């Protein structure tokens, strides 16, 4: 459950309440009715093709062997398409074009919903402040992982015949 402890409407303490058979945090005040639904966050992910390769990035907070797709949160008032282009620009300084949407994937461990896209990009890579390293991998050598954005990679590779 989330780290929210107090009602966002009246400030009373939240307590565990069963609603439709599921546990939610709800306001303890009798007349408030606030429920913290803890809905998933929307994340966009990009399989970025650059000079015939797929770009995989390592976040500064990750172990040295862990690489993934370019991802970021969808911001208020932003379309998923604009968000994924913005993330590629912010994290890689590349101008990208949408090729196709790959799919929508639940990432239950992080309470996220991932909208994944295939993009083609041009320009010189300049890493943003969140990244420690970027590698270029031929598409046929990319290996999907089991969670998060891994299923998007798997679907993309299968569509390409790998």
- pTM over cut 0.95: no
Of 70, 48, 54, nearest in space to 120 by CA: 48
In the predicted structure, residue 21 carries a pLDDT above the cut 80: yes
Task: Report pLDDT for 2.
Answer: 53
> What residue segments make up the domains of the chain, in order of their start?
1-38, 41-159
In angstroms and rounded to an integer, the radius of gyration of the C-alpha atoms of the chain is: 19
Task: Report pLDDT for 3.
Answer: 79
Task: Report pLDDT for 1.
Answer: 46
Average of per-residue pLDDT values in the chain: 95
> Does domain 41-159 correspond to CATH entry 3.90.79.10?
yes
Q: How large a percentage of the chain has pLDDT more than 70?
A: 99
Q: What pLDDT band is residue 87 in, cutting at 50, 70 and 90?
A: very high
Rounded to whole angstroms, how far apart are CA atoms 89 and 83? 10
- Token reading at 119: 């993009």
In the predicted structure, residue 49 carries a pLDDT above the cut 80: yes
What H or E segment, with its residue span, contains residue 103? strand 95-107
Tell me the average pLDDT across 112-128. Answer: 97
Give the three-state DSSP class for 125.
coil
User: Would you give the end-to-end CA distance of the chain in angstroms?
Assistant: 39
């Amino acid at each position: 459950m989330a780290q929210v402890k107090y009602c966002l409407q009246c400030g009373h303490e939240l307590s565990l309440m069963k609603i439709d058979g599921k546990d939610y945090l709800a306001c303890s005040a009798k007349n408030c009715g606030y429920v913290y639904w803890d809905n998933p966050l929307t994340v966009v992910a990009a399989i970025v093709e650059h000079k015939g390769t797929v770009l995989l990035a390592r976040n500064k907070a990750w172990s040295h062997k862990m690489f993934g797709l370019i991802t970021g949160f969808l911001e208020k008032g932003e379309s998923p398409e604009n968000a994924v282009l913005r993330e590629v620009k912010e994290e890689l300084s590349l101008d990208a074009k949408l090729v196709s949407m790959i799919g929508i994937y639940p990432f239950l461990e992080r309470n996220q919903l991932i909208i994944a896209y295939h993009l083609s990009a041009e320009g010189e890579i300049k890493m943003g402040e969140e990244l420690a390293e970027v590698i270029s991998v031929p598409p046929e050598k990319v290996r999907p992982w089991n969670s998060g954005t891994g299923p998007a990679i798997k679907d993309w590779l299968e569509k390409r015949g790998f």
